[in-house]
Structure 1
Amino acid sequence: MTQLSLFSADLTPPVGDDLGGLLAANGRLETAADGVRLEIRLPDPWRARALVRECRVRDVDAHVQVDDQVTVLRTDPAPALAELSAHWLDGSIKVVPRDVDLSAGLMRCWAIAAGRPAAVGYLLGLDPQTPDIHEALAGWCAAIGLAGSLIGPRAGGPAMRIVGQRRCTRLADMVGTPPPEAPTGQFPQPAHH
Structure 2
Amino acid sequence: MSLSGLGDTGAAQPPVPALFPAPDPPASVPAESSAGAVAADALAGAAGRGRRRSGSVRPGSAHSGTPDDEDAGRQLVFFGAEAAEPTVADLAGLLAGPGEVVRMGGTARLSVRVDAAWRVHVLVAELALRGLAASWEPTEDGKHTVRTSYTRVLKPLAAAWLHGAVKRPPAVLHLTGRRLRLWVAAAGTPEPPGGFLLGLGEGDPDSWDALGAALAAAGLSATLLAPAEGGPAYRITGRRRLTRLAELVGDPPAAAPPKLWPTRP
Task: Tell me whether the two structures share a fold, i.e. TM-score over 0.5.
Answer: yes
Q: Which residue of 2 aligns with 1:87?
A: 160
- Match 2:117 to one of 31, 36, 45: 45
Unaligned 5+ residue runs, structure 2?
1-76
Q: Which residue of 1 aligns with 2:44?
A: none
Q: Which residue of 2 aligns with 1:124?
A: 198
Could you tell me how far 1:34 is from its partner in structure 2? 6.5
Q: Which residue of 1 aligns with 2:209?
A: 135
Could you tell me how far 1:78 is from its partner in structure 2? 3.0
Q: Is the 8 A contact 1:17 1:80 kept in 2?
A: no
Q: Does structure 1 residue 177 correspond to structure 2 residue 251?
A: yes
Q: Does structure 1 residue 103 correspond to structure 2 residue 176?
A: yes
Detail structure 1 runs of 4+ shifted over 3 Å in the superposition. Answer: none
Q: Which residue of 2 aligns with 1:78?
A: 151
Aligned residue pairs total 187
Could you tell me how far 1:154 is from its partner in structure 2? 2.5
Q: Which residue of 1 aligns with 2:46?
A: none
After superposition, the CA RMSD in angstroms is 1.4
My pick for the range that moved more, 58-67 or 37-46, is 58-67
CA distance in 2 between partners of 1:177 and 1:184 (Å): 9
Q: Does structure 1 residue 6 correspond to structure 2 residue 58?
A: no
Unaligned 5+ residue runs, structure 1?
none
CA distance in 1 between partners of 2:172 and 2:136 (Å): 31
Q: Which residue of 1 aligns with 2:99?
A: 27
Q: Is the 8 A contact 1:117 1:186 kept in 2?
A: yes
Q: Which residue of 1 aligns with 2:87?
A: 15
- DSSP 3-state at the match of 1:6: helix
Q: Which has the larger radius of gyration?
A: 2
Q: Is the 8 A contact 2:107 2:153 kept in 1?
A: no
Q: Percent identity, aligned pairs only?
A: 39
Which has a greater percent of strand? Answer: 1
CA distance in 2 between partners of 1:154 and 1:91 (Å): 29
Q: Is the 8 A contact 1:7 1:173 kept in 2?
A: no
Q: CA offsets, 1:141-172, max 9 Å, x none?
A: 10110000001123211100000011011111
TM-score normalized by the length of structure 1: 0.91
Q: CA offsets, 1:94-142, max 9 Å, x none?
A: 0110122211111110000000000231000011101111011001110
- The correspondence of residues 163-174 of structure 1 with structure 2, limited to 5 A, is 163-174=237-248
Q: CA offsets, 1:26-76, max 9 Å, x none?
A: 111121246201111111111011001111112211111124433110101
Q: Is the 8 A contact 1:28 1:40 kept in 2?
A: yes
CA distance in 2 between partners of 1:67 and 1:37 (Å): 18
